[in-house]
Amino acid sequence: MKALVFHGPGKKSWDDVPDPTILHPTDVIVKMDATTICGTDLHILKGDVPAVGSGRVLGHEGVGTITEIGSAVTTLAVGDQVILSCISACGKCDFCKHGVHSHCLGEEGASGIGWIFGHLIDGTQAEYVRVPYAETSVYKLPSGVTPEQGVVLSDILPTGHEIGVRYGSVKPGDVVAVVGAGPVGLATIATSGLYGPSRVIAVDVDANRVEQAKGFGATDGVVSSDADWKDQVLAMTDGLGVDVAIEAVGIPQTFQMCLDVVRPAGHVANVGVHGAPVEFALQDLWISNINVSMGLVNTDTLGVLLKLVAQRRIDPDLFISHRFALGDIIEAYDVFGRAAETKALKVVLQA
């Protein structure tokens, strides 16, 4: 089959690789119908995720059709179209039982790490993929939800919702600032609206993305290259800062921006994937009573979000800016990697 293969920092190619096979009774083989590229894939290509070795098939999102099932699989069948969660969960370990699937103790990939697709095992940017722990790691695609929409549910919607909104403890009446209006930031904005904040402020260096964010539920926007960006944000509060500041980029500067605008006793939720150390001035911050959270998505809310998408409470089509054939994935990476120029949000690759 064909697959997008990582060959070390800055190197990738669309290669011929062996077809995946059933390795464990709980596996299924899925023919990919649609997949996408994540900001995390760009971090991998920059060398920010050293656990990803040369030869790895990238990708951790997608929708596909089951072509083969392992002997222990009873709730799925050949022909089922399924959403692949970006997190693989054995469903039996202590972490899985507590909903912390991101730290699944199953032996697949590495015990204690639930994100394995495109990381510790071959991923979804391919014609076929082996899915471990299939019964607890995929969701059947209901009628009325398209494969493209399902792709958005693989990662960015649960990530924004869980790590941004829920970890940030967004509640009715809050003023929320989301720093970074890329796909995950926009997913955070879209799902924050479920909790009734009074204002959601999109902050980004790209004026186009700030404007786009208003279509996802942002009430206000601030371009962070403005010299007075902080004053603009504070002016939308009582002057004391926002209740919740959500970092959705993954660089030291944007994390500091969140610390700069959060109010005493507020929440800072870090969603971005960081590849460099971040200074945390605890000697100054301890007295502020702020809560700081971070983490890897568990996708334990994917099923709930799927229901909301099916009922049109959330519109995942808004996230899709470009469409490519799967074989054009190198071009798709180029477009996605130059998002400021191309205005790319999510690029969907269709098999």
Convert the pLDDT of each residue in 125-170 to its tens digit.
999 999 999 999 999 999 999 999 999 999 999 999 999 999 999 9
The answer to whether residue 11 scores a pLDDT higher than 90 is yes
Q: How far is CA 276 from CA 43, 49, 181, 253, in A?
A: 11, 11, 20, 11
pLDDT score for 275 = 83
Kindly state the DSSP code that residue 18 receives in the 8-state scheme: P
pLDDT exceeds 90 at position 205: yes
What pLDDT sits at residue 151?
Answer: 97
Query: What are the start-end ranges of the E strands in the chain?
Result: 2-6, 12-16, 28-36, 62-69, 81-84, 128-131, 138-140, 175-179, 199-204, 220-223, 242-247, 262-270, 291-294, 320-325, 346-350
Dmax of the chain from CA atoms? Answer: 61
- The string of pLDDT tens digits covering residues 220-248 is 999 999 999 999 999 999 899 999 999 99
Separation CA 261–CA 256 (nearest Å): 9
Helix (H, G, I), strand (E, B) or coil at 328: helix
Predicted local confidence at residue 262, as pLDDT: 98
What is the DSSP-derived secondary structure letter of residue 109?
A: S
Does the pLDDT value for residue 121 go beyond 90? yes
